[in-house]
Amino acid sequence: MRANYWSATRAPRYSLLFAFPLLLAYEWLARVLSGDEGVRNGADVLLKSLFLVLGGRAGLTMFAVILLGSGLVLVVRDWRRSGPPRLAYFMGMLAEAILYALVFGTVTGALTGLLLHGPRGLYIVQGQALPFATRIMVSLGAGVYEELLFRVVIVSALQRLASRGFKWRPWAAGSFATFGGALIFSAFHYVGPLGDTLTLTSFVFRMVAGVLLSGLFLLRGYGITAWTHALYDVFLTVANG
């Protein structure tokens, strides 16, 4: 049972279904709080902007169809092959995500302190100028869209490039994808009008966070990683009012 849980919960019928309520909550809050033209998570804006350029307003519909349609295909295919998911497994995944989110900041801050020979327990507070509810919405979006962009798309692409293009061994390909994706993930937070001020401490903190999230994605899949990221950001937002 234990071995089956760890392998099964990475599969689409668990991972994608687990992430779906997070997507719904973010999109609903974004529409209620900001409408079509308001503040949204940066990765969300970047992904949808590509489709806006290609198809105008219809591009957003195209994006939704591709995102939901491809997810549905993967879930149905996995469901038919392996059977229906177990509710108890979803409860275990939620417990995992909560646990990881609670220790994430402490571990990331401690590793950042070791790398910079500075204080332990560092953490990054962002978006303080935004209203509280908007910061909660953006936090949920970080889990959904930043993990979709940086882990599902970029880390997966880098891993495939290293393994199939460079013919590297799995551990080398995974390491390349993890650190390469983390570097891009950290740099992303300083781009655009809402980007943070670049400092060495915050850059290293976010790169360490990217390494941990990339590793978690490769080990536990998209769903748990998305919830871990979202819950960590929500906990941090609540803690800082």
| 3-state SS, one letter per residue, for 139-178 | HHHHHHHHHHHHHHHHHHHHHHHHHHHCCCCHHHHHHHHH
What is the SS3 assignment for 27?
A: helix
pLDDT reported for residue 40 = 82
What is the amino acid identity at position 123? Y
Per-residue pLDDT of the chain (241 residues; tens, 9 = 90+): 555 999 999 999 999 999 999 999 999 999 888 765 567 888 888 888 888 887 777 888 899 999 999 999 999 999 999 999 999 999 999 999 999 999 998 899 889 988 887 655 445 545 557 788 888 999 999 999 999 999 999 999 999 999 999 889 988 998 999 999 999 999 988 886 667 788 888 899 999 999 999 989 989 999 999 999 999 999 998 888 6
pLDDT reported for residue 136 = 92
pLDDT reported for residue 101 = 96
State how far the Cα of 90 lies from the Cα of 94, in Å rounded to an integer.
6
pLDDT reported for residue 75 = 97
State how far the Cα of 144 lies from the Cα of 20, in Å rounded to an integer.
9
Pair 211, 196: CB distance under 8 Å: no
User: Which residue has 């915050």 as its token pair?
Assistant: 202
Q: What residue spans define the domains of the chain? A: 2-239
- CA torsion, ordered 193, 102, 158, 182, to nearest 10 deg: 50
Spatial CA neighbour of 224 closest among 2, 14, 29, 25: 14
Put simply, whether the predicted model's pTM sits higher than 0.85 gets the answer: yes
State how far the Cα of 205 lies from the Cα of 196, in Å rounded to an integer.
13
pLDDT reported for residue 122 = 47
What is the SS3 assignment for 198?
A: coil
